[in-house]
Amino acid sequence: MYFKLDCPHCSKSLKVREEQAGKKCRCPYCKTAFILPVPSGVDLGLTEDPFGAGSNLDDDEFSNLDFGGGTSKSPASKSSGSAKGQASGKKAAAAARSSRSEPAPSHGQSHSSGSSDIGLVKSGIIGLIGAVLIFAGLYPLWKADMRIGKMFWDSVGINFPTTLLMCWSFAILFLKSRRLSQQKSAMLLDLLPTEVSREITLSSLDRFVAHIHSLPNEARSSILVNRVLRGIEHFRVRKSAAETVTMMESQSAIDASNVAGSYTIIKVFIWAMPILGFIGTVMGVSSAVSGLSATLENAADVSAVTDSMKSVFGGLGTAFDTTLLALVMSMLVKIPTSAMQKSEDGLVTIADEYCNENLLRRLNDGREGGAERGAGGGTGVDAKIFREAVEAAMGTHHAELESWLQKLDAIGSKLTTQVAKGWTDINTKMKEQQEQQLAHFQEQYAEHTTQLQQQLQEMNTSAVEIHKALSDLSGQAASMQDDVAKSVSSSTETLESLFSGLDRGLTGLSTVLESLGEKQVIVQQVEAPKRGWFGRKK
């Protein structure tokens, strides 16, 4: 249900849903925010039935008809408008003069449906700037060796595209939120005012179109305005309210499809971010394993192997950080995307409700119980013929819709199968590669472990031999020390005996010298006898 009010700032007429009463909104004309008052009554925009003529219709004949949730008009609404027509004659004349003063819209004019698509170039530039700013802000943290900076900058080749997709998605959501706020403001417009005409007939269409064209420019591209214009143009061409109802249902499905299709690129980004993270992880694991294999081949001792294992595990941590960041970014994009899509779906639903309440209920083609039939004195409408006509008009659309649904189901099933098969193939290949790399790593590990054990055994054998040699050397040194001690002891005793003999000799010599000092010793030289030639003494 809707009620009318005037903007407290620009005094423009607005039409608001009862559910929005008491909430804050923004006027689509002056852009001023205000709180909607609680209505005391509701203006349905329907013609009055002072004579109760509408109760003479057989309700069972039209029980199966549905004009967007509305009810049929009273056949006497036009013929009984003498007093009411006089009261509103001035307003109608003023509306007619205003419609004549403006150029009449073209009857063949087409109106594009309000698109929910966002330009990828503009949003991509915004996303690129955001990604660059994020990495620029994290650069000092990376230089300071902080964890958050290292997570982004250590694998910048993968993390930057992932961050770019996240910022690109946020830019699209930001632009869509701005457009959504404009769409919500357009919902407050009174597109089909009752001051122009109580009923929407072929003769009053130009005035309604002129009124819509007088609205603010940014409101004309909204879903609601385009929906109403399409309905009016279709009613002008087909001159049938039933066909207009069918067309509006089709247009509602088209708008819902446009809204859902506008999120395709974001869904692709949400899918691509974890894939990039997995790719970065696989690249990091491959690099770490290859580095470990090269280190083990050139390793000479246990310490080198330990250092290489530390670097490998550090590389594995960096590799898995890419998947962690990608999953977090995907979740951060998915939540606001779902909320935004729900808001846009609600906008399409509000547009459907507005058209049912304010457009379809007021359509009068003069053949289906409208004011013109009441003025002509018609006796009634054959419900069976009318039902058959409506069913025939809707049958083609229903068949076409069923055909499209079948095609979409087939495409969706095929796409789902292909995606599932692709994922299965990717998982199988990744599993095979990881198993091969793991088997190769285990073989290399077993081989190097065997080599290390052999080297350790050889080192243990050498250590035992060295210990044995040291023990032998220690025994020999001890025996040599004992021999030296014994030799020194015997030498000492010999020297002592020699020194004692020498002492006794010196003492005797001293005694002899003393005795010689008292006596005179004459030394007589005796000439040696000479020998002849044959050795004879002479």
Query: Which residue ranges make up each domain of the chain?
Result: 1-44, 114-381, 402-466
The CA R_g of the chain, rounded to the nearest whole Å, is 55
What is the C-alpha to C-alpha distance for residues 358 and 14, in angstroms, rounded to an integer?
A: 13
Split at pLDDT 50, 70, 90, the class of 533 is low
Q: Is the pLDDT of residue 169 over 60?
A: yes
**Helix 205-213 × helix 223-238 angle, to 10°:** 160
Amino acid occupying residue 102: E
pLDDT over 80 at 87, yes or no:
no
Q: Which of residues 119 and 45 earns the better pLDDT score?
A: 119
β partners of residue 16 = 3
**Nearest partner of 329 among 168, 154, 443, 199, judged by Cα:** 168
- The residue that leads in pLDDT, 229 or 188, is 229
* Ramachandran class of 278: left when φ > 0, alpha when ψ lies in -120 to 50, beta otherwise: alpha
Please list, in sequence order, all residues whose beta carbon lies within 8 angstroms of the beta carbon of residue 119, skipping any fewer than 6 positions away. Answer: 175
Beta strands 24-26; 33-35: pairing state: antiparallel
Res. 136: pLDDT tops 60:
yes
Q: Does residue 67 register a pLDDT over 80?
A: no
CB-based contacts of 96: which residues, under 8 Å, 6+ apart?
207
Choice among 106-115, 151-160, 300-309, 441-450 with the minimum mean pLDDT: 106-115
Closest C-alpha to 152, from 164, 140, 138: 138
- Mean pLDDT throughout 437-460? 88
Tokens 């595990």 appear where?
Answer: 313
Task: Determine the Cα–Cα distance for residues 259 and 253; give it in Å rounded to an integer.
Answer: 10
Q: Which pLDDT belongs to residue 338?
A: 92
Can you tell me the distance from the alpha carbon of 350 to that of 412, in angstroms, rounded to the nearest whole number?
28
pLDDT given for residue 107 in this prediction: 42
Q: Averaged over 456-462, what is the pLDDT? A: 90
CA 122 – CA 168 distance, rounded (Å): 10
Residue 312 banded pLDDT, cuts 50, 70, 90: low
Statement: the pTM of the whole predicted model exceeds 0.75: no
Give the best-scoring range by mean pLDDT among 164-168, 351-355, 498-502: 164-168
**Six token digits for residue 479:** 């025996």
The yes-or-no verdict on residue 232 having pLDDT over 50 is yes
Higher confidence at residue 65 or residue 392? Answer: 392
pLDDT band (50, 70, 90) for residue 11: low
pLDDT top residue among 120 and 42: 120
Contact in structure between 32 and 7 (CB atoms under 8 Å): yes
**Pair of tokens at residue 401:** 């819709």
Range of lowest pLDDT (200-214, 408-422, 513-527): 513-527
